[in-house]
Structure 1
Amino acid sequence: MSPRRPKTWHAQATALAVLGVSALALALVAPIPQSPLYHQFADTRALAIGRLLIPNAADVLSSLAFCAAGLAGLVRGAHAPPSQRMALRVFFIGLVLTGAGSAWYHLDPSSASLFWDRLAMCIAFAGALGALAGERLGDRAARRWLGGWLLLGASALALWVLKDDLRLYVLTQFGGFMVLLIWLRHSVRPGACALPWGWLLVAYGLAKVFEAADTSIWTLSGQLIAGHALKHLAAAAGVIPLLIALSRADRGLDQGSGGR
């Protein structure tokens, strides 16, 4: 006999409580402005391709790994179960946009170009959260959390642009991380495709380490590669286990229906 699955309302209430406490804690600290030092990266080498000169080439080109992961996901996720399909589509579209936005940002790093990078990431965050909600909590929860997180992301970007305050954006990133950890404790719903979100979370955590160690890695590698390019590659690589799981699930459907 399979273990009894906790009620979905309990899982959602727990997530909301964690988010509420996190929001209160952030409200009690001073506004977090965008540091101008954020735009200073270790590897500023340009790459000439014919007459085309790509500034900050390693960071620009490594961003395209998100585009590759997102496009592959749109193909692999086309036949995902209905409770996950819409949110997964948003997630993978968000990854494609993240690759484009990150490449655009790194061509000429500034707060103005960073907006497009963060807008795309907010879309991807919302898609991931909605997809896991569909997998563990059902279709209604997937729609609710997908829409809610898109709204939260838009509000976070508006607060940053209008007030130069990143507190709400911090919540969209790390609050979503905590919610995913909470929901991973719940069993997969019947008929849903079990996706290895844990690998994505590990990759995301590793990417943040690479980001923080940008200059240190650049120095230790003898100026071969910096941490920020590795950040892009690590985060995009975290999507690969999801693509494999979606591919296996799709092959299972094919076999189960006699090849359709």
Structure 2
Amino acid sequence: MRNKRCMLVWGVAILCFIVLMIITPKIPQSEEYHNFADQRQFFGIPNFLNVVSNFPFFVIGVIGLILCYYRNYFRLRAQGELWGWTCFFVGIAAVAFGSSYYHLKPNDARLVWDRLPMTVAFTSIFSIFIIERVDERIGTLSIFPLLLTGVVSVIYWWFFDDLRPYALVQFVPCIAIPLMTILLPSMYTHSLYWLWAAAFYLIAKVEEAADKSIYKWTHHIVSGHTLKHLFAAMVPVFLTLMLAKRVIEIERPSLFQTWRISWTKVKENGETVENYSYTYTSVSVEESQ
């Protein structure tokens, strides 16, 4: 039954992708994209701040990898979770090298190596989310297909100068993950960290779009793209903190349920509300002897 459901989901996703590719126009890569506001050189390094601002990605990626395997510090329950988070932190650490390489001499050929590790991070985090909130087995089986989808989207752009598949790989998780965080129950506590991570990524994208404006507003001190790197690096920081703090959620409420109960309590002047209850059936609880 689960295999059929997994195949159905993939079939629907592929069908939607084909329809979008038919009805939407081609999106070529603009050469203006490589024209960043801050092109200053320091210590012989061109585009210095845009290069060195990638260093936090390497630091948090390495820390995350170490904690994944050091005595199972993150208390990961399933092998699929370990694989997913390993791919995520490897992608994050690789962003530091790929993005720095690109910013030393921005062009399309180098941009490939900037985007490849980012797609690894995007797609692996989406598979992790499926494991936690939809189905553990389906999420685990989706890791490789999602990673392959991300890599193919970059290769497709490189060969056909069409950003549509890459845009889907980047932005679908950005929309789906916050919605799923709010609406679907998680097997773990501290779900709010997902929303903090999503918020910082959204701010990073705004800073990227306002690269030249921010550079002007700060009197040429720092550009929007440099800030984009720093804010985007906060995404794995929040997720690492979440992994370190969270425990298995016994009652398993969704954030929406939690907020609804809190709001109802406020409306009823703090009186206890007993209209809502949740059950958790996926994790067994051992009774003390």
TM-score class, shorter-chain normalisation, is 0.7 to 0.9
CA distance in 1, matches of 2:10, 2:186: 17
Q: 2:235 aligns with which of 233, 238, 243?
A: 238
CA distance in 1, matches of 2:195, 2:138: 20
Which residue matches 1:55? Answer: 46
Change (3 A) 1:106 1:81: same
Which residue matches 2:213? Answer: 216
8 Å CA contact retained: 2:126, 2:173: yes
Change (3 A) 1:232 1:183: same
Q: How do residues 118-197 of structure 1 correspond to structure 2 at under 5 angstroms? A: 118-184=115-181, 185-189=183-187, 192=188, 196-197=193-194
Q: 1:102 aligns with which of 95, 99, 102?
A: 99
Query: Residue 93 of structure 1: CA displacement?
Result: 0.3
Bigger mean CA offset, 228-237 vs 199-208: 199-208
CA distance in 1, matches of 2:7, 2:228: 31
User: Which sections of structure 2, spanning at least 5 residues, go unmatched?
Assistant: 248-289
8 Å CA contact retained: 2:213, 2:224: yes
Q: Any idea what the Cα deviations from partners look like across 1:178-219, whole Å, max 9, x if unmatched? A: 332343221113xx5755222221111111000000000000
Which structure would you say has the larger Rg?
Answer: 2
Amino acid at match of 1:187: P
8 Å CA contact retained: 2:122, 2:173: yes
8 Å CA contact retained: 2:85, 2:124: yes
- TM-score, reference length from structure 2: 0.75
Residues 1:81 and 2:77 aligned together: yes
Amino acid at match of 1:149: L
Change (3 A) 1:181 1:187: same
Q: Percent identity?
A: 31
Q: Any idea what the Cα deviations from partners look like across 1:148-204, whole Å, max 9, x if unmatched? A: 211211221221121111111011011222332343221113xx5755222221111
Change (3 A) 1:11 1:148: closer
- TM-score, reference length from structure 1: 0.82
- SS in structure 2 at match of 1:41: coil
Q: 2:32 aligns with which of 34, 37, 49?
A: 37
8 Å CA contact retained: 1:126, 1:147: no
Residues 1:200 and 2:197 aligned together: yes
8 Å CA contact retained: 2:190, 2:245: no
8 Å CA contact retained: 2:197, 2:235: yes
- SS in structure 2 at match of 1:32: coil
Q: Any idea what the Cα deviations from partners look like across 1:85-117, whole Å, max 9, x if unmatched? A: 110110000000111100110001010000011
User: Which sections of structure 1, spanning at least 5 residues, go unmatched?
Assistant: 1-6, 251-260
Moved over 4 A (4+): 9-23, 192-195
Query: Residue 77 of structure 1: CA displacement?
Result: 2.8
Which residue matches 1:254? Answer: none
CA root-mean-square deviation: 2.6
